[in-house]
Amino acid sequence: MALTADEVRYIARLARVALTGDEVERMREQLSNILDHFQALNDVPTDDVPPTAQSLDLANVDRPDQTHPPADREQVLANAPRRENGFLRVRAVLEA
Amino acid sequence: MATLDLDVPAHEHAARMRAGDYTARALAEATLARIRAQEPALHAYVTITEELARAQADAADARLRAGDAAPLVGIPVGVKDLLCTRGVRTTASSRMLERFVPFYDCTVVERLQAAGAVIVGKTNLDEFAMGSSTEHSAFGPTRNPWDLERVPGGSSGGSAATVAARGVPISLGTDTGGSIRQPAALCGILGLKPTYGRVSRYGVVAFASSLDQVGPFGRDAEDVANLLGAIAGHDERDSTTVPVPVPDYTAGFARGLAGLRVGVPEQFLERGLGPGVREAIEEAIAVFEHAGAIIDRSVALPTAGAALAVYYIIAPSEASANLARYDGVKYGFAVTDGASVEAEMSETRGRGFGSEVKRRIMLGTYALSAGYYDAYYLKAQKVRTVITREFESAFAEHDVILTPTSPTTAFRLGEKLEDPYAMYLNDLFTIPVNISGDPAISIPCGFADGLPVGLQLIGRHFDEATLLAAANAYGEATDAGKASPAALP
């Protein structure tokens, strides 16, 4: 399963990961090689087999709906790259 | 009166501190001094937490004076730098989180502190726990104490190396595809991946949420049992923890190996093993048999070979979603001078993540993308069901399944770095267990060309007690795992 450079750039765009030209080529080779090995799955018949998302029998776990004090704002913002007046600062999403 | 000897296991320290031979503070100071002396050669730690360790050691001494009988009071422990620690930076060995300081402790660290343990540092790992050699740490690789030119395994390589080097007696790692068991094997110590749902992941940096588990490293089964007992159990903050009572994991140690039904799938011994690995495993099987275990070599797990492909679809898919949170907005590394919102986000992630993390995000994004979901992700989930059913039927007639932990002993630094798939093959024998959710332990079983070999015992869901009892009996029957690496201070 050989990926093209355009396909690699498309996946990188979906993943929001900027790649250099060298990285695109290396990623193309390495991902193509890994995808080849995935063909092994086609040898396993699974026509009537349900999928497993996780290995536990638990479903719909709930707990009492109790209030708790929220995390302290200053602590939460201490790791923020950009902040202003007690808020996270982000770039404008819609350009003027 | 016994002198302070850092080579003894944690339960021996506990007995000596209670006998008044030395204090938890003295043990902490000696431990910190040894770690500092070893670090230039070993690089097992991202951060050494001296002040925290001293405060916790003094608190432990107060508990010891008050007659507290809990097994971990005053015991030094290293924790993988994937586990959030309040006020102590938690990096995941990534540039992305290089300066991230959590304002809360993860549940397992809370429980360690409640148990009286003394946290001496945050251990090195492959970035975001993605790797099998610790070479993918953004802060440089950890070395194997048995041969400093070789890798300790990974991703929990720092946690394994510092225990093997007699820096600390016990440590915590995480295991998504073998990240506790494989480094335990390559470093010649014990490491246990608990049943999925046994230990809380609250506050643990997420990699692949249907597979991740936190678990213990140690140099004997009793230490591993005590550490597991301290961290296991239901946690309201992690809805995947199961409200199954936590037993005393040492309670069954007297039962030994007599009558233990051991399945040995031949397919795990036939292909791709490094020199000397099969011989070491066969010798261990002979020890089990001599001690009364019933060995059955007819057990088959025909689909286990497909587990590697299942894993490298499911784990990257989940990772691609989990790591979407690193966007340069709330915390972590951020590029703030980009041309647009999207450019800033993409540059943040392009520069903040290392090559293996980017590779896995790309792989997962591809497997989940429109047109490929059924062929990859859904197919992998169905094969996951097939593999799980095979384990269930194997456990109808066996108490444990025995395999090598890793196909080879520790390899040289750089040897597999340029070939991702060769690196992934390290996890061939450990991955099926993450797929099925079963618990498994790696136990040292001798050497091949001077490098440790590990055997893996796999058990039924929530039957860690049987694995630990078997590991204890095997440890008492042999010298395996007792030797120390010579090269370090």
Buried b vs exposed e over B343-352: b needs ≥16 C-beta within 10 Å?
bbbbbbbbbb
| pLDDT score at B1 | 67
Closest partner residue to B242 among A46, A49, A58, by Cβ? A58
Residues 6+ apart with CB under 8 A from B433: B193, B439, B440, B456, B458
CATH 3.90.1300.10 domain range(s) in chain B: 10-255
Contacts 24+ apart (CB under 8 A), B27-32: B27/B57, B27/B74, B27/B75, B27/B76, B27/B118, B28/B53, B28/B54, B28/B56, B28/B57, B28/B74, B28/B76, B28/B118, B28/B120, B29/B54, B29/B57, B30/B4, B30/B6, B31/B6, B31/B76, B31/B118, B31/B120, B31/B167, B31/B168, B32/B120
Domains and CATH numbers, chain A: 5-42 (1.10.20)
| pLDDT score at A24 | 98
Whether the full predicted model's pTM is greater than 0.90, yes or no, is yes
| pLDDT score at B374 | 92
CATH number of B10-255: 3.90.1300.10
A14 contact B CB<8A: yes
Provide mean pLDDT across the span A67-82: 93
ipTM for the complex shown = 0.95
Parallel, antiparallel, or unpaired: how do β-strands B261-263 and B294-296 relate? parallel
| pLDDT score at B271 | 78
Indicate whether A95 pLDDT > 80. no
| pLDDT score at A96 | 63
Closest partner residue to B240 among A27, A58, A75, by Cβ? A58
Angle at which helices B464-477 and B277-290 cross, to 10°: 90
| pLDDT score at B270 | 87
| pLDDT score at B432 | 97
How far is CA A1 from each of CA A7, A34, A44, rounded to the nearest angstrom?
A: 12, 9, 19
The answer to whether B334 contacts A82, with C-beta atoms less than 8 Å apart, is: yes
The answer to whether B242 contacts A93, with C-beta atoms less than 8 Å apart, is: no
Query: Tokens 């776990």, residue?
Result: A61
Catalytic residues of B: 80, 155, 179
A16 contact B CB<8A: yes
Which of B363, B418, B458 should be substituted to probe chain A, the one whose Cβ sees the most A Cβ atoms within 10 Å?
A: B363
Question: Residue B212 and residue B199: Cα distance in Å, rounded?
Answer: 10
Q: pLDDT of B200-215, one tens digit each?
A: 999 999 999 999 999 9
CA B127 and chain centroid, separation: 14
**Residue-wise pLDDT tens for chain B (489 aa)?**
678 999 999 999 999 999 999 999 999 999 999 999 999 999 999 999 999 999 999 999 999 999 998 999 999 999 999 999 999 999 999 999 999 999 999 999 999 999 999 999 999 999 999 999 999 999 999 999 999 999 999 999 999 999 999 999 999 999 999 999 999 999 999 999 999 999 999 999 999 999 999 999 999 999 999 999 999 999 999 999 999 999 999 999 999 999 999 999 999 998 789 999 999 999 999 999 999 999 999 999 999 999 999 999 999 999 999 999 999 999 999 999 999 999 999 999 999 999 999 999 999 999 999 899 999 999 999 999 999 999 999 999 999 999 999 999 999 999 999 898 889 998 999 999 999 999 999 999 999 999 999 999 999 999 999 999 999 999 999 988 888 898 687
